[in-house]
Amino acid sequence: MSDAKTEVFISIDVETAGPVPGEYSMLTLGACLAYPPGTAFSCEIKPTSNKFVPAALEVSGLSLERLQETGLTPQDAMSQFAAWIGEVCGPDGQPVFVGLNAPFDWAFVNYYFHKFTGANPFGFTALDIKALYMGKTGCSWGDTRSSRIAERVSPTTESDHDALHDAVFQAELFRLVMALA
């Protein structure tokens, strides 16, 4: 009998106010199961600082002022996310963080989990779709942009800098890349 848990692949995307956690805020978080992507979680989060990179807010269309009024506290956001992960994984599931440029998104999620809940249910690892694609195809790192991957695997969804929409798009890319011979 094996003690191995069932891997539950969870596609995650975040929108942030800048390039590094701690200094800049995570503003939105979107997540969905890779199999099937219809099971989803998303939230908007109150900023932890007023610091931002203008281009980061421009691309997402988010407002620090609006999120300060309407977003969840970081503690509530991460507690709710942890509860959702627990629900979708159940007692026999092992959550696996999946992202496109996973190091960026994982850094924010990891920081927020540890700072605001004390633990990260994903542990210290993440599965990066870009690296997976590179391994599956033998392409160069420069060919791992989402647009290049999409040209090869033809997803039906698109990325639009809405964290949940992007998580769904990434989940589709992940499934299509996994299916490559």
As a three-state string, the secondary structure of 77-100 is HHHHHHHHHHHHHCCCEEEEEEEC
Sequence letter at residue 34: A
Does residue 161 carry a catalytic annotation? yes
Q: Which two tokens stand for residue 144?
A: 């791992």
Q: Which one of 136, 152, 161, 165 is the catalytic residue? A: 161
Residues with active-site annotation:
161
